Amino acid sequence: MNFISDPVAFIADLLAKLLFRIGLSQIQVTVVSEFIGAFLLGVFGFSLVIFTIWLERKLYGRIQDRIGPNRVGPWGIFQTFPDMIKIFTKEYITPVGADKIVYNLAPILSVSAVLLTWAVIPFAPTIVGTDLNVGVIYLMAVGSIGALGIILAGWSSNNKYSLIGAFRAVAQVVSYEVPMILALLIPVLLGQSMGVNSLVYAQKVWFIFLAPVAAFIFFTSCMAETGRAPFDLLEAESEIVAGYQTEYSGLKFGMFYVGEFLHAFTISALVATLFLGGWRGPWAQQVPILGVAWFFMKTFLVYFVVVLIRISMPRLRIDQMLNFNWKFLTPLALVMLIVTAFVEKGFLLISPDLGLTDSALPWVRAGVHLFSNLVVVLITIQILKSHRIKAVRVVAKPRPVAVAPEPPASVIS
């Protein structure tokens, strides 16, 4: 355990020894060190937002052929701090007739639900908040609290636009949880564990190669969960002002903003952990600090894609969004789950007879799964194509045209 290869465990060890010296009991030492760990994790999550807000604004600017923030600090990297100070000194305006308790609870809930996710994400083999053995269920449970924050905010604001935003949240955020959980089942099935860290250990070959369709479904439904650009119906500014956050001002609005940016980064971390091998990379197991580097490299790669999609896609209509979820993603995820189960079971039965070496086995398994995924994708494309033709025919029907009425005969003669 040396300082350079694994600083977090080293410092934690040192701290525990120090606390023992002071004369605390075993339980007290555990409580204090866990408290410090939890506090640092929270601070880390929060300060990450400051960076991601800048990154996203910069990317947004560059893609729209602007420079983006460039005044405060090098490349405008400290732009978020003046913004924070500004939003900190704003007045709170609570609308008349708002449900006070719920109204104030909602922004706190929407941030803390997202931050809670970070408790189980492993940054490196040893650097993890806590390695719960039901980590995936914890992720699901915490993920659905975020939707609750949005619904509470919309309901309590005493504003019709907010209420519409909340209803859309019910339809969207809640609906997209179904394919998300179904897609989450596939890594659990392949890794045969619910602990997030042990799922990373199980990825000798990244799960994106074993289950690309599941990765796609998970990524898309997570994007919808964040309620950002292609799926930003809950705060569609051209339709319902600002949706659920219309009546919020000052830092209460700021917290929704923070929650949204943090959520976008959190889903990137989740995709990186569950499908891109998390901290896995050369020498990550020997030198845990390297695992952190691999993890953040993958996370930022996914985050870049998330931002890119946000910038380049137009908003969906609500019926399109729901159709995409219930008639495409959910059946596809169900089919994928059945196919993966059969392929995996078949491979488990056959693999002892094949006489493969330990190093070749995961790759053969990945190849088999990849092939089955490709077959499903091809069939799906065929089905989609046949439906597309029908849809075009429906659109091409002649529409009724307004025709000027015949002038009465008496006028002509």
Partner 1 sequence: MQSDWLFIGLFVLIVALFPGVPILLAGLIGPHKLSLTKSQTYECGLETVGDTWVQFRVQYYIFALTFLVFDVELVFLFPWAVAFGQLTMFGLLSGVIFILILFIELLAAWRKGVLEWA
Q: Which CB sits closer to partner 1, 17 or 86? A: 86
Within 67-126, the residues that bind partner 1 by CB under 8 A are 87-97, 104, 107-108, 111-112, 115-116, 119
Within 265-294, the residues that bind partner 1 by CB under 8 A are none
CA 38 to chain centre: 21
192 binds partner 1 (CB under 8 A): yes
Q: Which CB sits closer to partner 1, 68 or 143? A: 143
Q: Which CB sits closer to partner 1, 201 or 300? A: 201
Nearest to 71 by CA among 85, 63, 81: 81
Six token digits for residue 196: 């997030």
Nearest to 302 by CA among 333, 336, 278: 278
One of 10, 167, 296, 347 touching partner 1 (CB under 8 A): 167
Strand partners, 128: 122
160 binds partner 1 (CB under 8 A): yes
Within 340-369, the residues that bind partner 1 by CB under 8 A are 341-342, 344-345, 348
387 binds partner 1 (CB under 8 A): no
Other residues' Cβ atoms within 10 Å of the Cβ of residue 214: 29
Q: What is the torsional sign of CA 171, 177, 182, 183?
A: positive
Which of these ranges, 13-21, 159-167, 358-366, 389-397, lies near partner 1 under the rule CB under 8 A? 159-167
Nearest to 223 by CA among 188, 192, 268, 163: 268
Contact pattern from residue 302 through residue 341 relative to partner 1, giving x for each residue in contact according to CB under 8 A and a dash for the rest: ----------------xx--xx--xx--xx--xx-xx--x
Length of the chain: 413
One of 6, 56, 83, 177 touching partner 1 (CB under 8 A): 177
Within 46-75, the residues that bind partner 1 by CB under 8 A are 46
**Which one-letter amino acid corresponds to residue 205?**
V
Give the C-alpha distances (Å, rounded to integers) separating 268 from 56, 127, 190, 219.
13, 18, 21, 8
Q: Which CB sits closer to partner 1, 63 or 87? A: 87
Which 3 state secondary structure label does DSSP give 277? coil
**Which one-letter amino acid corresponds to residue 258?**
V
What is the helix (H) or strand (E) element at residue 112, kind and residue range?
helix 100-117
| Least CB distance to partner 1 at residue 310 (A) | 23
Residues 6+ apart with CB under 8 A from 255: 107, 108, 110, 111
Which of these ranges, 74-82, 178-186, 304-312, 389-397, lies near partner 1 under the rule CB under 8 A? 178-186
| Helices 212-226 and 330-354: angle between axes, nearest 10 degrees | 150
Q: Which CB sits closer to partner 1, 284 or 336? A: 336
| Least CB distance to partner 1 at residue 405 (A) | 33
| Least CB distance to partner 1 at residue 54 (A) | 19
Within 136-155, the residues that bind partner 1 by CB under 8 A are 136-138, 140, 155
| Least CB distance to partner 1 at residue 191 (A) | 9
| Least CB distance to partner 1 at residue 139 (A) | 11
| Least CB distance to partner 1 at residue 72 (A) | 21
379 binds partner 1 (CB under 8 A): no
CA 247 to chain centre: 26
Q: Which CB sits closer to partner 1, 189 or 370? A: 189
Distance CA 203, CA 388 (A): 37
CA 284 to chain centre: 25
